[in-house]
Amino acid sequence: MILVVRHLTAFRYPGGAAGVALRLKLFPQSFEGQRVIDWHVSVDGVEVENWITGGYGERFAQWLDRRPRDSLDIVAWGQVETKDRSGVVSGLRRPCAPAVFLRDTPLTQADEAILALGDGLQPGAAALPGLHALSARVREALPYRVGVTGSATSAAAALAGGGGVCQDHAHVFIAAARSKGVPARYVAGYLLAGQDEDQQFETHAWAEAFVDGLGWIGFDVANGICPTDHYVRIGAGLDAHDAAPVRGLVTGGGPGDLVADVRIAAGDSDIDAMLQQQQ
């Protein structure tokens, strides 16, 4: 499947900003099941060309501007060919050791409730059935509810609160898997959800866990499936903060307001039409 994406991240600074520093993880990789046909990232209309390869083998860019401003627009757009590989992720460039993703973070620390969700999960080659069961348990224990969690909500807090979104589902799954010795990581990307009325105009999140003999396997806990050809994988990290497509610092004037808008369509769609939809 050919997927066309346009991802707008717009910052507005009502009090002005003396300077802005950004880390952009907005460039998807080509691997088995995903081929980047054409991709661009721009900041205020100027394309970003100087990329760095980080420790996870993924490209990112650092962008800095010390000039005062009251707005900032970041746009990522392009075409990606995808194939359904039942969630199996292989062929990534310069992958790091799976054991790196056993490390806990404040967002993915397991409490007693999360440990209980992971009961029966075994590391190694026998992990796959347990991971599917874990995904189902997390989805049942954490109903999808918008507006009850935020970017700083930990896995334990989301589970205790009885609801959350895809970020929270991924964090709880990751925390439970790591607690049982199974490497797991957070993935940020895009999802072509289905009919127009079902579209989500934001990035999506899911988890990947490592199974000996198979490699990394994706689990979209929020939707109860492994990623298919409707998914575009941007990048991974220890948690949502680490994998965030856009992260930054602002000096002077306060943090500002953020509006994100993702448009994704199948086939030979018109990027210019997506641009009109986002204005």
pLDDT of residue 252: 79
pLDDT of residue 250: 86
* Span 2-277 CATH architecture: Roll (3.10)
Q: Domains of the chain: which residue ranges?
A: 2-277
**Contact by Cβ (8 Å): 185, 225:** no
Inter-CA distances, 201 with 27, 31, 129, 261, Å: 18, 25, 32, 5
Q: What's 151's DSSP letter?
A: T
pLDDT tens, 112-162? 999 999 999 999 889 999 999 999 999 999 999 999 999 999 999 999 999
Query: What are the two backbone dihedrals, phi and then psi, of residue 275, each rounded to the nearest 5 degrees?
Result: -60, -40
pLDDT of residue 248: 87
pLDDT of residue 272: 59
Q: Are strands 215-219 and 204-211 parallel, antiparallel or unpaired?
A: antiparallel
User: What is the reported pTM?
Assistant: 0.92
pLDDT tens, 59-78? 999 999 999 989 999 999 99
Residue type, 215: G
Q: Are strands 34-43 and 69-82 parallel, antiparallel or unpaired?
A: antiparallel
Residue 224 token pair: 């109860």
pLDDT of residue 80: 97
Cα separation, 255 vs 241, whole angstroms: 16
Inter-CA distances, 207 with 3, 89, 98, 182, Å: 21, 11, 14, 12
Low-confidence ranges of the chain (pLDDT < 50): 197
